DNA sequence: TATTTATTCTACCGATTTAGTAGATTATTG
DNA sequence: CAATAATCTACTAAATCGGTAGAATAAATA
């Protein structure tokens, strides 16, 4: 399951994606409309900005807005950022690889082989879906 | 990511699946061979038995052995048992459904729609893979 | 330049989950 | 009855999750 933080990130991105122009939206507006706790949302938006998906402006007239195009923002990237690896086991993770303590040899580990397959199939799904798909699905 | 408990469950099932006859294997043997902490393994085996995947015998000559055929033991079932829902959000879970607090209407929620798709695709993978696939992949 | 606006940074907090361990109990075999 | 081996109850330490408080910094404007 995705953490609330991850879900909140998607809600925030979706809200910003629905804005016609790319002009700053206040954290408090996003918080009210998406019902994400404001202080919690701050940290999320900051992370999204650091990842290059959003831009921010401080001071009056400031706020957050999309920096990337919706079709560039992949579900997989957002999930990795807030939820961690897509893979089900560290030993088959592309971005967070770690060997298993108990495993003598990955080559002959049946679980490893199957989890590799699962990872590849899962990536096909979440790496090809983007914020644009969420926006299109929205009423 | 899967919890260690879930991974351990797969290791234990795999070890029992490699046994030719269906005769009892000691917890301590499974623990030593799979390197899963014995006391932790006890709880896992108990859950697998309660789910009908294993049978146990107490006393001398006792132990655990497979009750179901390897092709009947689906990855999805093991994951649900030890790791929880397959779906990424409670609002798209078949077995653990819960509505979102912030969601006014699931019908028009784009995230909901996309996560439904992701769940369906994911299920196609993990509900069709079984212990037999793990065993076949093993040396 | 002072004030207001609004993001950013640092630091905390309670509750839950994870990954275990210890030890008594119950069932089976011989 | 003695030995064996699963079962049950009850802890525990550490990490993660979800969230809050408040000070610091940056930008606009009067």
Tell me what the pLDDT averaged over chain B comes to. 95
Distance between CA atoms of A12 and A28, rounded to whole angstroms? Answer: 11
The 10s digit of each residue's pLDDT in B94-121 is: 999 999 888 888 999 999 999 999 999 9
* Domains defined along chain A, listed by start: 4-66 (1.10.10.10), 71-138 (no CATH)
Any chain A CB within 8 A of the CB of B126?
yes
Distance B14 CA to C15 C1' (A): 36
Residue in chain A lying closest to B133 (CA): A114
Residues B11, A75: C-beta atoms closer than 8 Å = no
Q: How confident is the model at residue B21 (pLDDT cuts 50, 70, 90)?
A: confident
Quick: pLDDT tens for A16-74: 999 977 899 999 999 999 999 999 999 999 999 999 999 999 999 999 999 999 999 99
Q: How far apart are the first and last CA of chain A?
A: 25
pLDDT over threshold 90, residue B56: yes
Decide: A15 and A33 in contact? Cβ < 8 Å.
Answer: yes
**Rounded percentage of chain B residues whose pLDDT exceeds 70:** 100
- Total-model pTM: 0.95
CA distances from B69 to B6, B65, B73, B107, B130 (A): 19, 11, 7, 40, 10
As a whole number of angstroms, the distance between CA B111 and CA B119 comes to 12
* pLDDT of A82 over the 80 cut: yes
Q: Is the pLDDT of residue B22 over 90?
A: no
What pLDDT, on the 0 to 100 scale, is given for residue A5?
Answer: 98
CB-strand contact A28/D, under 7 Å: no
Alpha-carbon gap, residue A4 to B103, rounded angstroms: 13
The CA distances from residue A10 to A56, A83, A99, A106, B105, in Å, are: 17, 12, 31, 35, 16
Model confidence at B20, pLDDT cuts 50, 70, 90, reads confident
- Hey, what are A97's tokens? 């690889």
Q: Supply the pLDDT for residue A21.
A: 76
Q: Is A92 on the interface with B (CB under 8 A)?
A: no
- Nearest CB among B1, B100, B129 relative to A114 is that of B129
**How many other C-beta atoms are found inside a 10 Å radius of the C-beta of residue A7?**
22
pLDDT computed for residue A91 by the predictor: 96
Chain B nearest CA to A83, separation (Å): 9
Alpha-carbon distance of A11 to A42, in angstroms, equals 13
Backbone angles phi, psi at A83, to 5 degrees: -115, -15
Cross-chain Cβ contact A114/B134 below 8 Å: yes
pLDDT for B80: 97
User: Do the beta carbons of residue B126 and residue B73 sit within 8 Å?
Assistant: no
In percent, the amount of chain A with pLDDT more than 90 equals 92
Give the other-Cβ count within 10 Å of B95's Cβ. Answer: 10
Residues 51-90 of B with CB under 8 A from A: 75, 79, 84-85, 87-90
Q: How far is the CA of B59 from the C1' of C27 (A)?
A: 7
Tokens of B76: 């999805």
């Amino acid at each position: 399951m995705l953490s609330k933080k991850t879900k909140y990130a998607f809600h925030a991105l979706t809200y910003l994606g629905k804005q016609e122009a790319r002009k700053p939206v206040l954290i408090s507006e996003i918080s009210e409309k998406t019902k994400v706790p404001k202080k919690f949302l701050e940290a999320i938006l900051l992370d999204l900005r650091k990842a290059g998906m959003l831009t921010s402006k401080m001071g009056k007239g400031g706020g957050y807005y999309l920096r990337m195009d919706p079709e560039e923002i992949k579900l997989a990237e957002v999930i990795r950022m807030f939820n961690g690896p897509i893979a089900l086991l560290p030993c088959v993770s592309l971005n967070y690889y770690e060997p298993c303590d108990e495993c003598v040899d990955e080559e002959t580990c049946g679980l490893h082989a199957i989890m590799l397959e699962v990872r590849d199939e899962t990536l096909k799904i979440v790496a090809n879906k983007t914020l644009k798909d969420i926006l299109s699905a929205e009423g």
